[in-house]
Amino acid sequence: MPIESQQRDDALLRRSAKGDESAFAEIYHRHQATVYRFALRMTGNSWAAEEIVQDVFITLVREPKKYDVNRGTLGAFLYGVARNRIMKHLERAPRHLSLDEKGDAAQDNYPQLHEQMTPARWTELRERREQVRAAVLELPTEFRETVVLCELDEMSYEEAARTLECPVGTIRSRLHRGRALLLAKLEMLRDVPKRANAGR
Amino acid sequence: MTCEEFAAVGLDLDPSGADEALQQAARDHLRECPQCAALQANWLALRVDLRALGTETAEANAPARVEMRLRQEFRTIHKTVKRQRMAFVAGWSLAAAAVLLCAFAWINWRHQRGPVVAHKQSTAVQSAASQRNFGPTVPITTPAGAELGDVLVASSSSGDFTLLPGSLPPAPEDATVVRVQMQRAALGALGLTVNEEHAGDWIQVDLLIGDDGLPQAVRLPPASTQTSN
């Protein structure tokens, strides 16, 4: 995040802490989308994502002093709070989502039926997308958040490491494990030929 | 490069992620190893799906109702905080004002009480003396600090009556002045301090006797000064 943007966040937060509602609204508009998307991709549930966004910003309103300027950017702080809330949500949530909940996050985001696309192709794409979504949601949390940040959010390893407050090497290894698990879940390893020479 | 090494660094083959030599080694390994090449192809296909999944939600925003609820919460919290601050400031201001008021009242009371008491006493005795013709005036002074328990000294330097310790100024109509001759040491019995060197001297003393027959005040007439001191 550029320094100007961080300074702007800090100034807005100071004004917000003094009761300036417009400053708070600006902070919300600057960061709500990233927090919401992260929550949505991690939980696969728009209601949960909505609740998490609300919790994150209420924390900012009630305890603005929790954010320490010297420890990082406001964005990273909000990501951190969101992560905690997501973990709590995932601990509470049932292991298997109901059909309604499964459909909730996906129903607005199905691939659009283009003129060039046959219904069969469209159905195939939709099924494939659903499989990938389900596979991501079934990943263990630490691998899931790395995959979400690096693959879905397209963050660099360094950005992801800063966000998750861990070394870049950890991100690399989690991503490697996450990818392997995803490939296994999607049965994409089935057509890979047996290793001819393990020593190569 | 082995398959394990390739799996560790080469799956995404991102030029920005590793040095060029390593990337080249990974590409060479891909050409030689069909298993890793298939894995790589599958990963790239999956990556396309993942990116598509990311794109689907790339424009997702929290619904407007979340902002509305947050703004409402913000107002409630800051109103409450403002009220609490105002109540705190008002409470302390009131307390400070009350303390100041009490302090002023006490200081005023202290200042007014001393002169009024002295004035009342002297006025009362003066009027009593003038009514009974005991002389031109029979002024009584309360030595400064008498109320605070200081020691009274039989002094002949002033011609006024000095109230004896523990006695009240007598009512004017009941007061009687009696002149007696006594040894200076006898003044000690009246609660006055006596100079031991002159304790045996005979002096003339005017006593102001109250209606109970007890001396209330004492005066050393100037005439006795020579004999008393």
Give yes or no for a contact between A144 and A42, defined as CB atoms under 8 angstroms apart: yes
Give me the residues paired with residue B176 across strands: B209
Gap between the Cα atoms of A151 and B198, Å rounded: 114
Give yes or no for a contact between B169 and B163, defined as CB atoms under 8 angstroms apart: yes
The pLDDT of A99-128, averaged and rounded, is: 64
Asked if pLDDT for residue A37 goes beyond 90, the answer is yes
Which amino acid, A145?
E
pLDDT of residue A162: 86
The top-scoring range by mean pLDDT among A98-107, A116-125, B9-18, B146-155 is: A116-125
CB distance B3–A198 less than 8 Å? yes
The pLDDT of A24-44, averaged and rounded, is: 92
Percent residues over pLDDT 70 in chain A: 80
Residue B17 tokens read as 């992620």
Going by pLDDT thresholds of 50, 70 and 90, the confidence category of residue B11 is low
Q: pLDDT of B115-170, one tens digit each?
A: 655 555 555 555 555 555 444 444 555 544 444 444 444 444 445 788 887 777 77
Cβ pairs A/B, distance under 8 A: 124
Helix (H) / strand (E) element for B209: namely strand B202-209
Grouping H, G, I as helix, E, B as strand and the rest as coil, residue B50 is helix
Grouping H, G, I as helix, E, B as strand and the rest as coil, residue A139 is coil
Gap between the Cα atoms of A77 and A93, Å rounded: 24
CB distance B58–A196 less than 8 Å? no
Where is average pLDDT lowest: A61-65, B67-71, B143-147?
B143-147
The top-scoring range by mean pLDDT among A116-130, B73-87, B131-145 is: B73-87
Give me the residues paired with residue B205 across strands: B180
pLDDT of residue A6: 77
User: Going by CATH, does the domain composed of A114-190 fall within 3.30.720.210?
Assistant: no
Q: Give the chain A residue whose CA is nearest to the CA of B56.
A: A109
Cα A106 versus chain centre, distance? 15
pLDDT of residue A36: 94
Q: Helices marked H in chain A — which ranges?
A: 3-17, 21-43, 46-62, 74-92, 99-106, 119-138, 141-147, 157-164, 168-185
Summary mean pLDDT of chain A: 81
Residues of B in contact with A25 (CB under 8 A): 67, 71
pLDDT of residue B116: 57
Asked if pLDDT for residue A76 goes beyond 90, the answer is no
Q: Give the chain B residue whose CA is nearest to the CA of A26.
A: B67
Gap between the Cα atoms of A131 and A149, Å rounded: 19
CB distance A200–B2 less than 8 Å? yes
ipTM over 0.90: no
Grouping H, G, I as helix, E, B as strand and the rest as coil, residue A20 is coil
Cα B8 versus chain centre, distance? 71
Percent residues over pLDDT 90 in chain B: 14
* Positive/negative CA dihedral, A134, A140, A141, A145: negative
Q: How many residues does chain A have?
A: 200
Burial class (CB in 10 A: 0-12, 13-18, 19+), B184: buried
Give yes or no for a contact between B161 and B125, defined as CB atoms under 8 angstroms apart: yes
Query: Where is pLDDT greater, at B127 or B104?
Result: B104
Give yes or no for a contact between A139 and A178, defined as CB atoms under 8 angstroms apart: yes
Give me the residues paired with residue A39 across strands: none
Asked if pLDDT for residue B228 goes beyond 50, the answer is no
Q: Give the chain A residue whose CA is nearest to the CA of B43.
A: A183
Asked if pLDDT for residue A29 goes beyond 90, the answer is yes
CB distance A37–B58 less than 8 Å? yes
Locate the domains of chain A by residue range: 1-97, 114-190
Going by pLDDT thresholds of 50, 70 and 90, the confidence category of residue B199 is confident
Neighbours of B91 (CB within 10 A): 10
Q: Could you give the dihedral angle defined by the CA atoms of residues A30, A36, A41 and A45, in that order, rounded to the nearest 10 degrees?
A: -170
**Strand order in B202-209's β-sheet?**
B140-141, B161-163, B215-219, B202-209, B176-183
Going by pLDDT thresholds of 50, 70 and 90, the confidence category of residue B223 is low
Summary mean pLDDT of chain B: 75
pLDDT of residue A110: 52
CB distance B35–A193 less than 8 Å? yes
Residues of A in contact with B49 (CB under 8 A): 128-129, 132
pLDDT of residue A50: 93
Neighbours of A68 (CB within 10 A): 8
Going by pLDDT thresholds of 50, 70 and 90, the confidence category of residue B12 is low
Distances (CA, A) of B196 to A73, A116, B165, B183: 90, 133, 20, 12
Q: If one looks up domain A1-97 in CATH, what number appears?
A: 1.10.1740.10
Asked if pLDDT for residue B34 goes beyond 60, the answer is yes
